[in-house]
């Protein structure tokens, strides 16, 4: 499938992507050059060529790299150039996704047919009338195993 067709339709079919697997290496090199405007690395394996060209085809069909991601990458590159390591893209992502809970918030979690209630305090949490240092300590008390407290109480995304 040509990149012009992908761009025109705004989507790429599974058949189009599967067809890339059937191309020989010289055809993949041509597709690579169309996609990236330079030849592929000399010793790149065929399966990597297929995946890279498929990814680039899908990306173009979707309208390109999202502007917010471009800005984050530019900010990370600028920070690296300036010798700043504390503002990497991963640090930015980690801080942006951190959840802040106000004291007095009640968290409920059903575990083995028992509802457990935790109250967030200024420093720590309250569970069953006792103060605990962290949600993780409470999760460990409830389950008997090491858990991420924020994950156990549903404050962090679950793997799907």
What tens digit of pLDDT does each residue of 123-154 get? 999 999 999 999 999 999 999 999 888 988 88
Q: What is the pLDDT of residues 70-85, one digit of tens each?
A: 888 888 888 888 877 6
Taking residues 155-159, what's their average pLDDT? Answer: 63
56: pLDDT strictly greater than 50: yes
Please give the Cα distance from 28 to 41 (Å, whole number): 12
pLDDT of residue 157: 61
Average pLDDT over the chain reads 80
3-state secondary structure of 110: strand
pLDDT of residue 10: 63
Taking residues 30-48, what's their average pLDDT? Answer: 88
Torsion angle of C-alpha atoms 101, 106, 112, 113, degrees rounded to 10: -150
Q: Which secondary structure element, helix H or strand E, spans residue 145, and what is its range?
A: none
Model-level pTM? 0.42
- Burial bucket for residue 152 (CB in 10 Å: 0-12, 13-18, 19+): buried
33: which strand partners?
A: none
């Amino acid at each position: 499938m040509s990149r012009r067709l992908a761009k025109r339709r705004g989507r790429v079919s599974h058949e189009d992507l599967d067809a890339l697997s059937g191309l020989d290496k010289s055809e993949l090199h041509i597709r690579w050059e169309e996609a990236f405007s330079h030849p592929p690395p000399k010793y790149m394996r065929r399966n990597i060529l297929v995946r890279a060209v498929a990814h680039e085809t899908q990306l173009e069909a979707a309208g390109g790299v999202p502007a917010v991601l471009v800005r984050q990458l530019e900010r990370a590159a600028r920070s690296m150039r300036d010798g700043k390591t504390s503002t990497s893209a991963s640090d930015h992502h980690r801080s942006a996704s951190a959840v802040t809970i106000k004291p007095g918030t009640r968290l409920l979690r059903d575990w083995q047919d028992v509802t457990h209630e935790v109250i967030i305090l200024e420093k720590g949490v309250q569970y069953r009338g006792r103060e605990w240092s962290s949600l993780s300590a409470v999760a460990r008390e409830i389950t008997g195993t090491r858990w991420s407290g924020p994950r156990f109480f549903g404050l962090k995304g679950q793997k799907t």
